């Protein structure tokens, strides 16, 4: 529920005000209009509202035009129709019933609250997907090994235990196993055992019967049931309480479970993939994790390497994250090669999640720009001085600066770049370096763009973009002679 | 005792006033600013360098989840507690996924927030 605004369209002013008061009471921000005509569509996007509530309609054609505009966004907010217009709206507005829902008037708080809660969850799921990349991305030895393990285990129904530091992409591994398995057409259901309070986790996993506890006003399916036929991903299983571990162990061993408040056992057909950032063997010694559960889970372990051990993957990961943001309409950004080089010197304690947060931040703060090293938060610039590329296009008029060596841990083997006394145009300098490297890579690969892209550890499409940027045509790139002349 | 320099972010101005009042009695907290959407949160986090941000999950334009992800990418990021009208497993999981350090049900704010905040005071162990 990241958006709090709810649009109320109603030509009955007193009803609109009553609905607005209800919405404020349940912590939403109502925006009321008497007709969609008063909404300047050029100043809005459909995602500006969590939901659109429609009451009295004076002109259905106008409303139809507005709904057509909404539908241009496939993730548009749901339309909640007040009586008596629901059936008419489904037909007239050509909306799917899942996107056009009836809502009672006078408003029933519980009904409205639940409709908006669900709309919020859908929105959160969509947004979480925009910052999630398929993968694991990368070509490093460590990632190639993980990919091989995924292929090996996917087709078997073996339980998998994914380990690795926080943010390394354990869920990405779990999703990849699911996508390569025969269960791929069934649900993949993830649950973060560490984020859910212990007293809620049992009903969340196994479901509950109506009246099982205070607040259980309806029967509810648990995540085991939701994942039936598919894969259940138990994230942060190392944070699970001991009593809950017993229940999970039983579900794994006997393939049955009971909803909270029920005596009836239910069969479960789910593949379990568990993950944790904790050292479970140490937890066993400490007595916080059951040894029998560990061996039940640790049938096929996959360890996701930390990002600092696969920095070669950084360019590809950044590309994938940017593509994901673009694809989902969340803006775009580009990182100058020098910025990527700078990021390679950082130790990435938060791993890929930290990189994803950084790329998203840069896309918001520097939309459509090329991010230079100076634009990065300072913690990422700690090792900015040493780069491997500087010797390839040295700045003219290099003059040693006394004492600089003491503060610049430059790698002598790859050369140094020294700032001239009267400064340098950093952007032009970096672009010259990039251009020189691209030309060399093309020359070395006889002008074959795909091979040059490999040498530069970047994607072919990215390189094609750069060729266009620097005015090197593809014909030129594929013509070894012309390329070498250029170089 | 060093107080936690705290930002309050919520589009519901009534809730901001109430939360500020309730936090006045929590000795570990010093409210240094208030904002009304995720954009305010990102900007003020950069400018004021708070120790803690208590942020609403649902706000116009940019909500608490996206703001948390962006704030966690700044230098020396503060602790973030996400406050939500809804308290269920899915909302808590989304908050954790965004990198929040805590989650509080707005309806239990008065009772839960002192304990959560004390977990962030330097010297006190927290997860």
Residue A464 structure tokens: 């094609």
| pLDDT number for residue A269 | 93
Q: B37 pLDDT band (50/70/90 cuts)? A: very high
Give the three-class secondary structure for A262: coil
| pLDDT number for residue A418 | 60
Please indicate, yes or no, if residue B125 is contained in any of the structural domains. no
DSSP H stretches of helix in A180-259? 198-206, 223-226, 242-254
Please indicate, yes or no, if residue B123 is contained in any of the structural domains. no
Q: Which of B57, B70, B96 shows the shortest C-beta gap to A361?
A: B70
Per-residue pLDDT tens over the stretch B39-71: 999 999 999 999 999 999 999 989 999 999 999
Rounded CA separation A39/A8 (Å): 11
CB A476 within 8 A of CB A446: no
Please indicate, yes or no, if residue B8 is contained in any of the structural domains. yes
Please indicate, yes or no, if residue B127 is contained in any of the structural domains. no
| pLDDT number for residue A132 | 67
| Contacting A residues, span 235-294, partner chain B, CB-CB under 8 Å | none
CB A342 within 8 A of CB A377: no
Please indicate, yes or no, if residue B126 is contained in any of the structural domains. no
Residue of chain B whose Cα is closest to the Cα of A198: B89
Per-residue pLDDT tens over the stretch B8-20: 999 999 999 999 9
Please state the φ and ψ torsions of residue A228, each to the nearest 5 degrees: -50, 125
Residue of chain A whose Cα is closest to the Cα of B90: A121
User: What is the domain count for chain B?
Assistant: 1
Q: Is B3 on the interface with A (CB under 8 A)?
A: no
Q: Which residues have C-beta within 8 Å of that of residue A329, sequence separation ≥ 6?
A: A73
**Between chains, do B90 and A121 touch, taking CB under 8 Å as contact?**
yes
Give the residue from A69, A63, A60, A65 showing the smallest Cα distance to A42: A69
- Predicted complex ipTM: 0.85
| pLDDT number for residue A389 | 33
User: Beta strand pairing status for B29-35 and B102-105?
Assistant: unpaired
Q: At what angle do helices B89-97 and B64-71 cross, to 10 degrees?
A: 30
Q: Which of A3, A26, A356 shows the shortest C-beta gap to B63?
A: A3
| pLDDT number for residue B9 | 97
DSSP H stretches of helix in A298-396? 314-327, 337-344, 351-365
pLDDT, one tens digit for every residue, chain A (487 residues): 578 999 999 999 999 999 999 999 999 999 999 999 989 988 899 989 999 999 988 888 899 999 999 998 888 999 999 988 888 888 888 888 888 999 999 989 899 999 999 999 999 988 887 666 667 888 899 999 999 999 999 999 999 999 999 999 999 999 999 999 999 999 999 999 999 988 889 999 999 988 878 777 788 899 999 999 999 999 999 999 999 999 999 999 999 998 988 888 899 899 999 999 999 999 999 999 999 999 999 999 999 999 999 999 999 999 999 988 888 777 889 999 999 999 999 999 999 999 999 999 999 888 888 999 999 988 888 754 433 333 333 333 333 333 333 333 333 333 345 666 566 667 667 777 787 788 778 877 777 788 888 888 777 777 877 877 776 755 444 444 333 333 3
Q: Report chain B's terminal Cα–Cα distance, integer Å.
A: 21
On chain B, the residues whose CB falls within 8 A of the CB of A196 are: 89, 92-93
Domain limits for position B104:
4-118
| pLDDT number for residue B127 | 39
Q: What is the CATH number of the domain that holds B81?
A: 3.40.50.2300
**Between chains, do A120 and B92 touch, taking CB under 8 Å as contact?**
no
| pLDDT number for residue A473 | 57
CB A118 within 8 A of CB B84: no
DSSP H stretches of helix in A268-419? 280-286, 291-297, 314-327, 337-344, 351-365, 404-407
CB A52 within 8 A of CB A9: yes
Please indicate, yes or no, if residue B80 is contained in any of the structural domains. yes
| Contacting B residues, span 52-91, partner chain A, CB-CB under 8 Å | 56-66, 69-70, 72-76, 84-86, 88-91
Phi-psi region of A266 (alpha: psi -120 to 50; beta: other; left: phi over 0): beta
On chain A, the residues whose CB falls within 8 A of the CB of B93 are: 191-192, 195-196
Rounded CA separation A104/A88 (Å): 15
Rounded CA separation A107/A26 (Å): 12
Q: Which of A128, A192, A377 shows the shortest C-beta gap to B74?
A: A377
Residue B94 structure tokens: 């989304």
Please indicate, yes or no, if residue B77 is contained in any of the structural domains. yes
H or E segment to which residue A150 belongs:
helix A141-154
The domains located in chain A, with CATH, are 5-130 (3.40.50.2300), 141-305 (3.40.50.300), 309-381 (1.10.8.60)
| pLDDT number for residue A383 | 52
pTM of the entire structure? 0.74
Q: Is the dihedral of CA A54, A60, A61, A67 positive or negative?
A: positive
Q: Is A371 on the interface with B (CB under 8 A)?
A: no
């Amino acid at each position: 529920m990241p958006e709090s605004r709810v649009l109320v369209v109603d030509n009955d002013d007193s009803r609109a005000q009553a609905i607005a008061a209800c919405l404020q009471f349940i912590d939403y921000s109502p925006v009321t209009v008497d007709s969609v005509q008063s909404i300047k569509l050029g100043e809005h996007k459909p995602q500006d509202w969590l939901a659109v509530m429609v009451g009295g309609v004076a002109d259905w054609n106008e409303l139809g035009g507005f709904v057509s505009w909404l539908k241009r966004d496939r993730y548009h907010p749901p339309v909640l129709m007040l009586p008596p217009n629901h059936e008419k709206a489904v037909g007239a507005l050509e909306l799917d019933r899942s996107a056009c829902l009836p809502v009672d008037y006078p408003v029933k708080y519980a009904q409205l609250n639940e409709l908006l809660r669900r709309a919020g969850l859908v929105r959160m799921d969509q947004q979480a997907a925009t910052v999630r990349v398929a993968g694991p991305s990368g070509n490093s030895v460590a990632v190639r090994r993980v990919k091989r393990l995924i292929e090996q285990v996917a087709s078997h129904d073996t339980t998998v235990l994914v380990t690795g530091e926080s943010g390394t992409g354990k869920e990405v591994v779990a999703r990849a196993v699911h996508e390569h398995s025969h269960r791929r057409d069934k649900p993949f259901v993830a649950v973060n055992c560490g984020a859910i309070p212990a007293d809620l986790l049992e009903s969340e996993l196994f479901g509950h019967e109506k009246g099982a506890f205070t607040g259980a006003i309806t029967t509810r399916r648990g995540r085991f049931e939701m994942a039936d036929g598919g894969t259940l991903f138990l994230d942060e299983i190392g944070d699970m309480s001991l009593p809950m571990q017993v229940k999970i162990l039983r579900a794994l061993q006997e393939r049955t479970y009971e909803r909270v408040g029920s005596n009836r056992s239910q069969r479960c057909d789910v593949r379990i993939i568990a993950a944790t950032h904790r050292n479970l063997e140490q937890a066993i010694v400490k007595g916080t994790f059951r040894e029998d559960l560990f061996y039940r889970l640790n049938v096929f372990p996959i360890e996701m390497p930390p990002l600092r051990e696969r920095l070669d993957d950084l360019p590809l990961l950044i590309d994938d994250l940017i593509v994901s943001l673009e694809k989902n309409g969340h803006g775009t950004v580009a990182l100058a090669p020098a910025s990527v080089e700078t990021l390679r010197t950082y130790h990435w304690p938060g791993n890929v999640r930290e990189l994803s947060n950084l790329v998203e931040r840069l896309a918001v703060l520097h939309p459509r720009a090329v991010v230079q090293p100076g634009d990065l938060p300072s913690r990422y610039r700690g090792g900015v001085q040493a780069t491997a590329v500087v010797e390839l296009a040295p700045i003219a008029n290099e003059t040693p600066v006394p004492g600089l060596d003491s503060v610049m841990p430059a790698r002598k083997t790859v050369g140094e770049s020294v700032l001239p006394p009267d400064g340098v145009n950093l952007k032009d300098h970096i672009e010259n370096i990039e251009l020189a490297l691209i030309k060399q890579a093309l020359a070395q690969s006889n002008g074959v763009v795909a091979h040059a892209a490999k040498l530069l550890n970047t994607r072919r499409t990215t390189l094609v973009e750069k060729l266009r940027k620097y005015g090197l045509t593809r014909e030129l790139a594929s013509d070894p002679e012309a390329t070498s002349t250029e170089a | 005792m060093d107080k936690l320099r705290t930002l309050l972010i919520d589009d519901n101005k009534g809730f901001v006033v109430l939360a500020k009042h309730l936090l006045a009695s929590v000795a570990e907290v010093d409210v240094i600013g208030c904002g009304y959407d995720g954009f305010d949160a990102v900007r003020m986090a950069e400018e004021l360098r708070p120790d803690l941000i208590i942020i609403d999950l649902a706000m116009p334009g940019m909500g608490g989840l996206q703001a948390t992800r962006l704030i966690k990418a700044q230098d020396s990021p503060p602790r973030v507690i996400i406050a939500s009208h809804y308290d269920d497993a899915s909302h808590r999981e989304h908050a954790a996924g965004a990198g929040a350090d805590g989650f509080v049900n707005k309806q239990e704010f008065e009772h839960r927030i002192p304990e959560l905040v004390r977990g962030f005071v330097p010297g006190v162990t927290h997860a």
